[in-house]
Amino acid sequence: MTETATITDCPMPKSEHLADELKQRVSPATTVRANEPLARRTTLRVGGPADVFVEPASEEDLAAVLRFCAESGEKFFVLGRGSNLIVRDGGFRGVVISLAHAHFSRIETAGDRLLCGAGAKLRDVAHAAKRQGLSGVEFLEGIPGSVGGALRMNAGAMGGATFDAVESVRFMAHNGTVLDRPAREVPVEYRCCPLFKTHIALEVLFRCAQAPREEIEARMNAFSQKRWATQPAASSAGCMFKNPAAIPAGKLVEELGLKGTRVGGAMVSHEHGNFIVNDGKATARNVLELIALLKERVRAARGVELHAEVEIIGDEI
């Protein structure tokens, strides 16, 4: 007697089900994907996938995504260009939101002001200012991030910090409400703006000053030369630790002879002690174990507590 096999329907994975549900809430112009690899979306090139990745095409779609997360109880994380970020190897259980769509990436000039969307690349902001003869944001040129990420981290380089040049910000609360606030009413800290832990940056008005284009270009070139002379070209998340009050973190690591220290494919850069680089084979676990090792060695040798400047998200495998 011939037996007939019974084929049962396999249930749809949760991530695909969430992505399908979210697609019903937003316009067709918004990108929604399930199980999106995040390693390629970070400058350190490590980390697992997001359950759902979404790139809203408008503020209305962004608000719809936030409402969906609230109603479904899903966590969300707003991803810029992936610098200053470590995603654990298990990935992110929830929704990762990217504001890379052209709607959020515009850069406009008005007199000595620059209006920039949260998704605009910092390098593009600096070069747009240079073309218009506007000075004040040259230091952004070499930071591999977006405007939104720079606001969230109060990112800085070459003696400048993002909020030094901010006149006002426009942002969205997690309930979808859009708000404006002058910079003087936004508390900021070293490498942190607490407002953007609970709100999402939409755009910023940078305050600049008119200056000869040749002078602006000369400053940007000098910054670039200094950066390439002192920072690694290999994949990294940028500076790994906040600078302690007494001594820069990189100098402290160098004085203790920790440059070149390695865990798996993660290594302390030979060029700069505050950078951990990926040799192409590193996992997030390698990086996190190396961070813990450096903190332990510095604490034991100098009694100094290092604090990570990077944001760490996601689950272990």
Residues 84 and 158 in one domain: no
Per-residue model confidence as pLDDT tens digits over 85-101: 999 999 999 999 999 99
Per-residue model confidence as pLDDT tens digits over 267-304: 999 999 999 999 999 999 999 999 999 999 999 999 99
Query: By C-alpha distance, which of 77, 86, 98 is closest to 46?
Result: 86
CATH number of 98's domain: 3.30.43.10
User: Could you list the residue range(s) of the whole structural domain that residue 189 is in?
Assistant: 105-213
Residues 57 and 110 in one domain: no
Residues 74 and 89 in one domain: yes
Band (pLDDT 50/70/90 cuts) for residue 9 is low
Please say if the pLDDT value at position 176 is more than 50: yes
Domain tally for the chain? Answer: 3
User: Last residue of some domain: 102, 125, 154?
Assistant: 102
The confidence score (pLDDT) of residue 230 equals 83
pTM: 0.89
